Amino acid sequence: MSDVVEKTLTALPSLLSLDSQPGSAKLSSTSKLGNLIRGITELTSKHEEEKLIQRELTSIKDQVSSPNTSMRQMKELMVRAIYCEMLGYEASFSYIHAIKLAQQGSVLDKRVGYLAVSLFLNESHELLLLLVNTVLKDLQSTNLIEVCMALTVVSQMFPKDMIPAILPLVEDKLNHPKEIIRRKAVLALYKFYLIAPNQVQHIHNKFRKALCDKDPGVMTASLHIYLQLIKENSEGYKDLTASFVTILKQVVGGKLPMDFNYHSVPAPWLQIQLLRILSLLGKNDQSTSEIMYEVLDESLRRAEMNHNITYAILYECVKCIYTIQPKSELLEKAAKCIGNFVLSPKINLKYLGLKALTYVVQQDPKLALQHQMTIIECLDHPDLIIKRETLELLFRITNGQNVTVIVEKMLDFLRISKDDYTTIDLVGKVAELAEKYAPDNEWFIETMNTVFSLGGDMMQPDIPNSFLKLLSEGFDSDEEDRKLRLFAVDSYVSLLQSEPNKLPQRFLQVISWVLGEYSHLSAELEPATVMTLLSKLLDLKHTSSETKSWVLMAMTKLCEGGVAISVAQDIYETHSSSMDTVLRQRAQELQHLSQDSELRGRVLPRDAGLMPLEVDSSLSFLDGFVSEALAAGAAPYKPPHQRQEELAQAKALSLEPYSLSLPISMSSCSIADRQSPTLMSMSSGLSGDSTDLSHKGGSTTLKLDGVKRVWGREGYLAQREPVEETAQVEVPSPLRSPSQQAEADSTQSQTPTPTVTPELEQDKQQLASSLFVGLGSQSSVCLMGKSDPTPQRFRRKAQGRASSSGASEKTPTSLGSTPSPVDNLLCNSLLDSNLVSEPTNQTPQASQSLDTTNGNCHEELTDVKENNPSLIHNNEEPDKPKDLCLSSHLPTELSGLSHSEITPLCSNQSVNLSACHVQKEDSLQLVIFIFNSSDSALQQMQLQVDSGELKLSLITDSPVEEVRSHSVAVCHYSVTVKRPSVHVEVLGMLSYQLPGGTPQTIQFSHKLPLTTFIRPLTLSTEEYGSMWLAFSQDTKQNLTLINDDQDPLTTTLNVLKKKLQLHVVEIIGVEGIVACQLVQDQPCLMHCRVHAGTLAVWLRSPVPDLPDCLLYHCQRALQEH
Amino acid sequence: MMRFLLLFSRQGKLRLQKWFTPMSEREKKKIIRDMTTMVLSRQPRSCNFLHWKDLKIIYKRYASLYFCLAIENQENELLALEVIHRYVELLDKYFGNVCELDIIFNFEKAYFILDEFLMGGEIQETSKQIVNRCIESSDMLQETMEEYMSKPAF
């Protein structure tokens, strides 16, 4: 027995024990459960157990269905059924009885009933609907225990769409006199917030009340919600910082009742929750951080090292100190703390110490240097978990000098790891490091070979994609490119010659592509040799048909010369009768192109990777064929939606609410329609060849912009065009400044730093020196993000604008992010003003600032409307003279339109960034102003913007590279939505250089509410009907109705129309239909019906998430009204 | 947030399961299998934390019983360890010198205690007295303790 248990058991000699008997004496010998359990323990085989349980279940089944069984007996039966289920035997017959027990039993029976329900059913089980009524009844009960049970079961499992039914009752419980009920209600609402945030947003102000509850338990519970809210939007809750700090101060100072102590540490759970909230609030915010320095210092001081729980608090403290704006004294203390963790003999603490180091090492690499010997020891730790955590740490400190050693360690670990999840993760990391810091070609190719072999077929598909992209795009020097490709070819040939049957499919695909594309670079390598090697792959048993088509594609590129052609002929003969149509197609191509070398040269030109290709998306080369067919009497082509309509008209009686019934999304219609004006017709060099084959050939050399996936779900497509699509994959390339690029050029020719592979056992010191090389020198560089003193070896050629918008997937930590005012006030307005006046911890300033932001709110929201000159006026208030002067820099094509307020994004001593947006019919135009406030010109400037939800394309002709002193540069983007979300965010980074200075970067983020993307969608009722049924994503909810003296429906819809730019299609009686679209071409339809004083809305759209987001904004808009 | 809590014996027999997020039966079975094999194969002096998919598994052995708690990645491991410990303390207080048999034969009580302690995957009440008071009051509200103990329902 562990010593902790012993202590526990002796320290707590049943102080408050309800019965003096020891636990085991409670087993009644007559208890049926007791008998069952004993019966099972006496059995020897699994088979006997099965028989016994089946017998038991049959007897339970008989008894539960008998009408004479009392609730009390039922309870006992349920307990036995639960036991059987726990052993893994299904007792589904008892589920309905569990619900019945919860419904009808006395309090004690009920509890077992609820327990059984929560163990048996899960959220989506249909029987759960039967529970709703019971829960409703119990929530209204006067018996506290019943209310508690109902709240517990609600937070455990409740069908999402039934939440509105019980929500008002749960809300009421927030005012219950008993703190335990209030606490449970808060937690239940927290759970609702997690599963359906839309439905509880109207009670945010009640959360605030819970935060100020006099009972610490209720307050603690409310922190769960706040942590979540602040995670999503820290800007909205900055005003609460002081309150959180005060609470933490009181807790740390021991002001809470003793009851909340845990091993004489005051309320550790509460402390940790508060520390987490504070770190979110203080992140990138100097003034907020300053408020918390004192209490953090206090927490560090109070937490004496003696118990796990104080370590837990310390760990959270350290994390917080390193997350918020740095303060040197605190950092020093935190670093000391980390030292204590790392050096502790207790393995759990060591683990946590490593984790803490991993977290802080980017900001303070010296710390890793300090603990290098411990890290080395951990690297050899027998416990794999410790080893894995150490590698994580090493990953963060990798640079150009230590990459070989670290990657070697990671690969060593990969070789022994059996866990798929770890393998996938680690393989990705090795690939990332290899690409970033590879010292030379040989090492890079060899490392990637190991990655492909170890990663197998479960690794992320973007690893092979980006590898191939890297090879095909090349780098700055053609000679280097050639060497790298040549080395790859050589190494693959030797791999194929040894044991190709051990290589995973993904690797074989990479190999065949590279050999197909680049084996001609090797002078001594005959195409025929490669062909033979590749043809062996086709004969391997485990080669998948996807790989086979890669191989055949590669062969098609290679078949040249007598021997090769005969190999091709053989292949054709074996595969031309393949069951797989793709393979058959490939074999045909191989056959044809091997015969006609001239055609092959045109279809598969060598080194075509980077040549821009033109696409004839209107398929004009088929015109001849079409007219011929029409002349011969074929029916003209009708796009699917047209066919639909005709079909629907033919129906005599439509039973559907809105005529059509086949699911067809609008976007697919417009693509199918060749006449559609959205499709550009481009001239095509290939359109002359009208044979089936050249069409195929054309498609293999297509360059379709925006094609993202190679191994995507549309496997077939990927198989057909593996080569070119690979080249198209957008790989996030790390941001870099041009000056670094220059450095790179100079170092690329240098010989790589020779890194020692130390023999571990002999000299750890040596390992340390190779691992931690290059760490000390960079300690002074920027606090945010990893800074590499050595430039990256593999960098892609600058690709103009494309690369600037497709940059970096790393979320840039916004240095000086200022949210757009819309956002700010949206959140602030969640607070109820009368709540603020209640005795809370808030300072009066906070409530004041709240009011003022609320005032702005209307302006901003109404500003969403287009072309309203009076609003521009409002926005450019006299206290913002800069706005006026910046607005004069707006691009000429936008100058006539109304623009939003120009909001500052971030600034430092030399630049100010601000942004505004202009709503156009088909897109949102985002304009970023770069104001150079320094006395010298900014050079080599690069602005990179990116967003997960948005598609940004630069409109300005050429990217600005230089800004003179005290002047403004403008970057103009056209923005459309890729993926709807309530607020969409643009992250950006500006890098520049002052003359004679070092390159600098500044990061920012800019939030845009979804409403700026919503446009009215003008439709007729019939069109609406046809679209309605085609959309699959839907959401229903009740909204508040605005009750004027006039028709409430019309008033409400007009409000929505005004605020959100919806188009009201028609209002019939108590129903109304409304339509809108998200730029561009993402429609959303809304059906409203007045029902029992509320507005029941039903939204549908082809776009996932769009209905939910729109609903959110509708709620907002109505609330604001 | 916590995702699930499992109690199982040294032989890998499940004693208690609590799922804080919805999960299908198949997933549950797989998790139980994975957890028992992973945790039972650990060496005695190794660290109490494990990785499983994107979750962290915190386990601790008390006598013959393993407590195994899954938390989300950003959570604090040490704190989770204390959650387990506090639960053991609560059980101990209720049963008085708790042992595995108490939990086997009165597993529904163990569930009730857990429900008072954790709710929806978060700590609900950290005060030992209050949790116990809740359990007791609900025990006693219906019938007096003596009555309850002298007439075991099963």
**Higher-pLDDT residue of A307, A675:** A307
Check CB contact of A107 with chain B, cutoff 8 Å: yes
Contact state of A312 with B141 under an 8 Å Cβ cutoff: no
Contact A1003, A967 (CB under 8 A): no
β-sheet bridge partners, residue A265: A262
Cβ partners under 8 Å of residue A609, min gap 6: A472, A473, A517, A727
Give the per-residue pLDDT at B71. Answer: 94
Cα gap A1078→A1073, rounded to integer Å: 17
Q: Which residue of B has its CA nearest to A388?
A: B51
Q: How far is A196 from chain B (nearest CA, A)?
A: 14
pLDDT at A1101 exceeding the cut of 60: yes
Q: Which residues of B touch A82 (CB under 8 A)?
A: 107-108
Of A312, A248, A252, residue with least CA distance to A278: A248
Tally Cβ neighbours within 10 Å of residue B81. Answer: 22
Predicted confidence (pLDDT) per residue in A889-904, tens digit: 777 777 777 777 777 7
Predicted confidence (pLDDT) per residue in A756-774, tens digit: 344 545 566 777 777 777 6
Q: DSSP character for A315? A: H
pLDDT at A934 exceeding the cut of 60: yes
- Lowest mean pLDDT of A239-253, A472-486, A792-806, name the range: A792-806
Predicted confidence (pLDDT) per residue in A852-863, tens digit: 444 443 444 334
Sheet with A968-977: strands ordered across: A903-907, A911-919, A924-932, A968-977, A950-954
Give the per-residue pLDDT at B72. Answer: 93
Cα gap A302→A745, rounded to integer Å: 53
Percent of chain A at pLDDT above 90? Answer: 9
- Helix, strand or coil, per DSSP, at residue A445: helix
Q: Which residues of A touch B100 (CB under 8 A)?
A: none
Give the per-residue pLDDT at A642. Answer: 73
Tally Cβ neighbours within 10 Å of residue A305. Answer: 12
Type of residue found at A171: E
**Higher-pLDDT residue of A488, A998:** A488
Indicate the pLDDT class of residue A542, thresholds 50, 70 and 90.
confident
Stretch 6-45 of chain B: residues touching chain A, C-beta under 8 Å: 13-17, 19-20, 22-25, 29, 43, 45
The helix (run of H) or strand (run of E) holding residue B9 is: strand B2-9
Identity of the residue in B25, B89, B119 whose CB atom sits nearest the CB atom of A8: B89
Give the per-residue pLDDT at B139. Answer: 60
Q: Which residues of A touch B133 (CB under 8 A)?
A: none
- Tell me the mean pLDDT in the region A294-310: 84
pLDDT at A1001 exceeding the cut of 70: yes
Stretch 397-436 of chain A: residues touching chain B, C-beta under 8 Å: 419, 421-422
- Tell me the mean pLDDT in the region A786-801: 44
Cα gap A970→A887, rounded to integer Å: 10
Q: What is the ipTM of this complex?
A: 0.89
Q: Which residues of B touch A112 (CB under 8 A)?
A: 108
Tell me how far CA of residue A796 lies from CA of A142, A357, A471, A514, A729, in angstroms. 70, 32, 10, 18, 13
Residue with tokens 């890729």: A978
Check CB contact of B147 with chain A, cutoff 8 Å: no
Q: Which residues of B touch A123 (CB under 8 A)?
A: 22
β-sheet bridge partners, residue A904: A914
- Lowest mean pLDDT of A125-134, A661-670, A1105-1114, name the range: A661-670
Q: For A68-203, where are the alpha helices, taking DSSP H only?
A: 71-86, 95-104, 107-120, 128-139, 144-156, 163-172, 179-195, 197-200
Predicted confidence (pLDDT) per residue in A189-211, tens digit: 999 988 888 888 788 888 888 88
Q: Which residues of B touch A33 (CB under 8 A)?
A: 105, 154
Tally Cβ neighbours within 10 Å of residue A422. Answer: 18
Predicted confidence (pLDDT) per residue in A67-96, tens digit: 888 888 888 889 999 999 888 888 889 999
- Tell me the mean pLDDT in the region A868-894: 53
Greatest mean pLDDT among A554-568, A579-593, A910-924 lies in A579-593
- Tell me the mean pLDDT in the region A789-814: 42
| Interface test mutation site (partner A, options B3, B79, B85, B140, max chain A beta carbons within 10 A) | B79
Q: How far is B86 from chain A (nearest CA, A)?
A: 9
Contact state of B89 with A32 under an 8 Å Cβ cutoff: no
Percent of chain A at pLDDT above 70? Answer: 74
Q: How far is A12 from chain B (nearest CA, A)?
A: 7
Q: What are phi and psi of A974, to 5 degrees?
A: -105, 130
Q: How far is B105 from chain A (nearest CA, A)?
A: 7
Q: Which residues of B touch A312 (CB under 8 A)?
A: 76, 78-79, 82
- Tell me the mean pLDDT in the region A317-339: 90
Stretch 881-910 of chain A: residues touching chain B, C-beta under 8 Å: none
Q: DSSP character for A604? A: S
Residue with tokens 């607020």: A983
Of B33, B4, B31, B38, residue with least CA distance to B20: B4
Identity of the residue in B16, B89, B104 whose CB atom sits nearest the CB atom of A12: B89
Q: Which residues of B touch A72 (CB under 8 A)?
A: 153
- Which residues in chain B land under pLDDT 50? 142-154
Interface size A-B, in CB pairs within 8 Å, comes to: 224
Identity of the residue in A5, A269, A272 whose CB atom sits nearest the CB atom of B62: A5
Looking from the CA of A904 toward its CB, the CA atoms found within 13 Å total: 12
Of A551, A630, A633, residue with least CA distance to A587: A551
Contact A39, A26 (CB under 8 A): no
Q: Which residue of A has its CA nearest to B104?
A: A37
Q: Which residues of A touch B104 (CB under 8 A)?
A: 37
Cα gap A887→A870, rounded to integer Å: 16
Identity of the residue in A33, A111, A349 whose CB atom sits nearest the CB atom of B112: A111
Give the per-residue pLDDT at A611. Answer: 57
Of A497, A4, A1038, residue with least CA distance to B62: A4
- Tell me the mean pLDDT in the region A264-276: 91
pLDDT at A496 exceeding the cut of 80: yes
Give the per-residue pLDDT at B17. Answer: 93
Cα gap A448→A455, rounded to integer Å: 10
Cα gap A456→A1121, rounded to integer Å: 57
Predicted confidence (pLDDT) per residue in A20-63, tens digit: 333 333 444 457 888 888 888 787 788 888 888 999 899 999 88
Type of residue found at A633: G
Contact state of B47 with A111 under an 8 Å Cβ cutoff: no
pLDDT at A661 exceeding the cut of 70: no
Identity of the residue in A2, A315, A382 whose CB atom sits nearest the CB atom of B61: A2
Contact state of B14 with A24 under an 8 Å Cβ cutoff: no
Indicate the pLDDT class of residue A575, thresholds 50, 70 and 90.
confident
Contact state of B142 with A422 under an 8 Å Cβ cutoff: no
Mean pLDDT of chain A: 74
**Higher-pLDDT residue of A830, B14:** B14
Cα gap A1088→A1041, rounded to integer Å: 11
Cα gap A1056→A1062, rounded to integer Å: 7
Residue ranges and CATH numbers for the domains of chain B are 2-150 (3.30.450.60)
Check CB contact of A872 with chain B, cutoff 8 Å: no
Stretch 206-245 of chain A: residues touching chain B, C-beta under 8 Å: 217, 220-221, 224
The radius of gyration of chain B's CA atoms, rounded to the nearest angstrom, is 16
- Helix, strand or coil, per DSSP, at residue A1057: helix
Indicate the pLDDT class of residue A674, thresholds 50, 70 and 90.
very low
